[in-house]
Amino acid sequence: MATEAEIHAALTTIFNDVFLRDDMILTAELSAKDVQGWDSFKQIEIIMASEEHWKIRFTTRELDALRCVGDLVRTIASKTV
């Protein structure tokens, strides 16, 4: 099972790649309104990149419930048991 720390580290790489940056600092509360350019298109990229990385598939309900990075980390953790 992936620990939350491992998920955090891999997600940081994904966010840096998606937003073309190298200085993203992810916190559990971080959400779309805090990051310039985080629109629904980028949201899908983050989700699909996570699915590819952890070889998982999110359900429609899980995706609808995502509000912040913390939600994403917890959902990934629950699917990589």
Partner 1 sequence: MTDLHWLPEMPDWRARLRGLADRPGSVWDNAVSLAGARINFVLTNALDETLRRSMSAPPEGVATKPVRLAVLGSSTLTHLLPAIRVAGLRRGIWIDTYENDFGQYWQELSDPASALHAFKPTAVLLALDSHDLTAGVTAAMDIETANAALSEVTERIRATWRLARETLGCPILHQAALPVHLPILGNNEHRAAGSRAAFLTRLNARLRVMAEEEGVDILAIDDRAARDGLRAWHDAGLWHRAKQEVSHAAGPVYGDLVGRWVAAKQGRSFKCLVLDLDNTVWGGVIGDDGMEGIELGQGSPLGEAYAAFQTYARELSRRGVILAVCSKNDEANAIEPFEKHPDMVLRRGDISSFVANWSDKAGNIRAIAEELNIGLDSLVFIDDNPFERNLVRQELPMVAVPEVSDDPAAFPIALADAGYFEGLSVTDEDRERTSQYRGNKARDALKASVTDLPAYLRGLEMRLIWKPFDRVGLQRIVQLINKSNQFNLTTRRYTDEDVIAVMADPEAFGLQLRLLDRFGDNGVIAIAVGRLQENKDLLIDTWLMSCRVLGRQVEPTTLNLIAQKAGKLGARRLVGEYIPTKKNGMVRDHYTKLGFTAMETGPSGGSRAVLDLASYQPASTFIHVTEG
Single-letter amino acid code for the residue at 76 = I
Sign, Cα dihedral of 54, 59, 64, 67: negative
Alpha-carbon span 79 to 51, nearest angstrom:
10
Q: Is 71 in the site for partner 1 (CB under 8 A)?
A: no
* Residues from 6 through 65 that contact partner 1 (CB under 8 A): 14, 17-18, 20, 22, 40-41, 44-45, 48-49, 51-52, 57-60, 63
Binding site for partner 1 (CB under 8 A): 14, 17-18, 20, 22, 40-41, 44-45, 48-49, 51-52, 57-60, 63
